[in-house]
Amino acid sequence: KAGVTQTPRYLIKTRGQQVTLSCSPISGHRSVSWYQQTPGQGLQFLFEYFSETQRNKGNFPGRFSGRQFSNSRSEMNVSTLELGDSALYLCASSLGGNGSPLHFGNGTRLTVT
């Protein structure tokens, strides 16, 4: 069974630009969650999509947005990039019920200069 696939693996952008990250979940998983990981803050929840609807949202500004397609693939967009957005962005898929373990992709390493 193929795991969670995230593209691209690495990205370098300039302040003010926008970026779109992509995530393909494990086949059959309808939930896709996005997390930001930094050395100082650890893993922080951005949002979760389930059956194309945003089900949960973290405490990030509106510059961070996402969507999910009918095949459960998800994209995350960050507009007006700031230096502080430099981080590892992890996508995780699951069956979506309580207690369902998250299966993480290898992440997209975003560097904002």
Radius of gyration of the chain, Cα coordinates, nearest whole angstrom? 13
Here's the x/- map for other proteins, 83-102, by CB under 8 A: it reads as -------x-x-x-xxxxxxx
Kindly tell me which of 42 and 62 has the beta carbon lying closer to other proteins. 42
Interaction between residue 104 and other proteins (CB under 8 A): yes
Among 105, 108, 110, 112, binds other proteins (CB under 8 A): 105
Segment 16-75, which members bind other proteins (CB under 8 A)?
A: 31-33, 35, 42-45, 48, 50, 55-56, 58
Exposed, middle or buried by CB within 10 Å (0-12, 13-18, 19+), for 101?
exposed
How many Cβ atoms are within 10 Å of 1's Cβ, its own excluded?
A: 6
Question: Which tokens in the block code for residue 89?
Answer: 């962005």
75 in Cβ contact with 18 (< 8 Å):
no
- Tell me which residues touch other proteins (CB under 8 A): 4, 31-33, 35, 42-45, 48, 50, 55-56, 58, 90, 92, 94, 96-107
